[in-house]
Amino acid sequence: MTDLPRTQHIAASGLIAAIGISIAYISFTQEPADAFIFPRLIASVFAVLAVWTFVKAVLGRTKVGNGISGVALRRMLPGLGVAIVYIYWAAKALGFYTATGAAFFVLLSLYDPAPHSDIKSWLKRILITAGFMAVMYGLFAQLLNVFTPREIFF
């Protein structure tokens, strides 16, 4: 295991340990106490295991988990960014179908191995997006009758 995963393991397990301790603190201090009996039980075990994992990471004894390589992070970030914007903002602000269509097309354009200079590949992406949206609309709007936020666009 290289130094990078070790640093990553320390950061990740440190964050989990902080969450575990916070949950334990909330469980033991919140009222009514009776509502927190079970969470106290869970939070205590959670905090102990999380601190144990953190100490192991600090000592460099973590055996499993390869962390995230720089290459994987660079490849993932554009897609993750699009997904986050789509889910946390665009789906509600623009309307479900518009946002889904846009996100689908952008993701396809970002990760499709076909060359960007080829006009045919763009046509293919447009057709795939249109086909996917037709299926989604048919399934959710027509078959399942799910009402989705339409907002400023469809």
Partner 1 sequence: MEFLFYLGDVFTPINFGLLLLGTVGGLILGATPGLSPTMAVALLIPFTFKLEPQQGLILLGAAYTSTVAGGAVSAILLKIPGAPANIATTLDGHTMATKGEGAKALQLSFLASAVGGLFGVFLLIFLTPVLAGWALAFGPSHLFWLAILGVTVIGTLDSSSVVKGLLSGCIGLWLATIGFDDIMGAQRFIFHPSVSGGINVIPALIGLFAIPQVITMFTKGRSSEDAEVISVERHPIRLAFIEVFRRKTALAIGTLTGSIIGLIPGVGGQIAGLVAYDQSKKFSRESEKFGTGHSEGVIAAESANNAMVGPSLVPLLTLSIPGSPTAAVLLGGLLIHGIFPGPDLFMNYPQVAWTFINSMLIGQILMCVLGLYIAGLAASVARVPHAVMAATVLGLAVFGSYSVQNSMGDVYVMATLGIAMYFLERFGFSAAPLVLGLILGPIAEANFIQGSMIANATVGTGAYFFTGWLNWLLILIVLASVSYSVWMEITARRYTTKDDAVAKEEALS
Paired tokens of 26: 């909330």
Judged by CB, which is closer to partner 1: 119, or 144? 144
Cα separation, 111 vs 78, in Å, equals 9
Residue 116 neighbours by CB under 8 Å, 6+ apart:
109, 122
Exactly one of 4, 59, 87, 127 binds partner 1 (CB under 8 A); which one?
87
Cα 116-118-120 angle, rounded to 5 deg: 115
- Binders of partner 1 among residues 4 to 23 (CB under 8 A) are 8-9, 12-13, 16, 20, 23
Exactly one of 7, 25, 59, 72 binds partner 1 (CB under 8 A); which one?
72
Q: Please state the closest distance from residue 116 (CB atom) to partner 1, in A.
A: 10
Exactly one of 7, 75, 123, 127 binds partner 1 (CB under 8 A); which one?
75
Exactly one of 6, 148, 151, 153 binds partner 1 (CB under 8 A); which one?
148
Do residues 27 and 36 lie in contact, with contact meaning Cβ atoms separated by under 8 Å?
yes
If you search the block for the tokens 């962390």, which residue do you land on? 67
DSSP states along 18-47: HHHHHHHHHHHHSSSGGGGHHHHHHHHHHH
Interface residues toward partner 1, by CB under 8 A: 1, 8-9, 12-13, 16, 20, 23, 26, 30-32, 34-39, 41-43, 45-46, 49-50, 52-53, 56, 62-68, 72, 75-76, 78-80, 83-84, 86-88, 91-92, 96, 100, 103-104, 107-108, 110-113, 128, 132, 136, 139-140, 143-149
